Amino acid sequence: MQKVINGCMKTNIKSYKNGNFRTFIDLNDGTKIRETDEDEFIADFAESMDVKICNYCDIGCPMCHEGSTTKGKFGDILNEKFIQTLHPYQEIAIGGGDATSHPDLIPFLYELREKRVIANLTVNQIHFEKKQDLIKKLVDNHLIYGLGISLVNPTEKFIELVKQYPNAVIHVINGVLKPEDVKALENNNLKILILGYKHLRRGNEYFDAAHEKIEKNQKWLYDNLEGMLDKFKVVSFDNLAIEQLNVKRLLSQEEWDEFYMGNDGQSTYYIDMVERKFARSSTAHMNKRYDLLDSVDDMFNVIRMEND
Ligand code: SF4
């Protein structure tokens, strides 16, 4: 369905049935609505998967919970059988490592587009700025829809560049995000996604070395979160940030029911194509990661059984 609202703002809404509900997603800005006549949403298949395609990255962030380095490997992303089992309009959120450095990224995205899978990509700000030609090509050819950009430094140039991408969401980390970052970003009609601080791999080491600074930033964000909400076009959270910042305290029950998309593993899970493992989320304990299966639905069922 394509339609025009107010004669200028285009929407591109797709809808599909999944279990006892219907999902509507606007591919132009990522807005998603789920509707059901029942009390809870029960999915037949995962609505989205976080997919790690490589562990290579040349940035070396001290808090990298993936532990990515220039020695990191690339997943064999063109040859995994589960790709053939993806459902139309199922979403995959592709990340790394530096996913833009994967040599098979473009053919992989063409294959997903062929299957009408909605691919979203997360890149670091430094790669976003350096690889504009690639990013533009991916967006213009509808090879990716959502574009996540991990914040490094909110310069004016960066903010202006982000504004050129209606589907861009700036990713920030609770504890790494500083008050001055928020000041620079606010009132620019931007969308931000606040991620919880992950105590995993280098995230653990960095926390040990810099916990005073991290905790100070976390306290500031906790205390100032409410005031931030109307200074951005959208403020969203991953489940870890919802917990760390106790986001529920800021919403009425009605708002919460409308806003909360469910626990990890309820409609989403994580696939690591480098290590060939899947899990409830990217922060799952190493003994709660399972060998990759040939079907996305079989993997989802394993995760759901783990939840029960
Ligand atoms: S956090 Fe992202 S950009 Fe930084 S080293 Fe890890 S993968 Fe690279």
The predicted model scores a pTM of 0.93
Structure tokens at 88: 């139309």
Amino acid identity, position 129: E
228 and 261 inside one domain: yes
CB contact burial 190-220 (16+ within 10 A = b; e otherwise): bbbbbbbbbebebbeebbeebeeebeebbee
Q: What is the C-alpha separation between 78 and 83, in angstroms, rounded?
A: 8
Residues sharing a CB contact under 8 Å with residue 45, sequence separation 6 or more, in sequence order: 18, 19, 87, 90, 296, 297, 300
CATH number of the CATH domain containing 224: 3.20.20.70
Question: What's the domain count of the chain?
Answer: 2
Centre of ligand 1 from the C-alpha of residue 124, in Å: 7
Going residue by residue through the chain, which has 308 residues, state the pLDDT in tens, using 9 for 90 and above.
322 233 334 678 889 999 999 998 888 777 788 888 888 888 899 999 999 999 999 999 999 999 999 999 999 999 999 999 999 999 999 999 999 999 999 999 999 999 999 999 999 999 999 999 999 999 999 999 999 999 999 999 999 999 999 999 999 999 999 999 999 999 999 999 999 999 989 999 999 999 999 999 999 999 999 999 999 999 999 999 999 999 999 999 998 888 888 787 788 999 999 999 999 999 898 899 999 999 999 999 999 988 66
202 and 76 inside one domain: yes
30 and 168 inside one domain: no
| Ligand 1 pocket, residues with Cβ under 6 angstroms | 57, 59-61, 64, 66, 68, 96-98, 124, 150
Atom of ligand 1 nearest to the CA of 202: 6
34 and 172 inside one domain: no
Amino acid identity, position 154: P
| Residue 37 belongs to domain spanning | 1-44
30 and 139 inside one domain: no
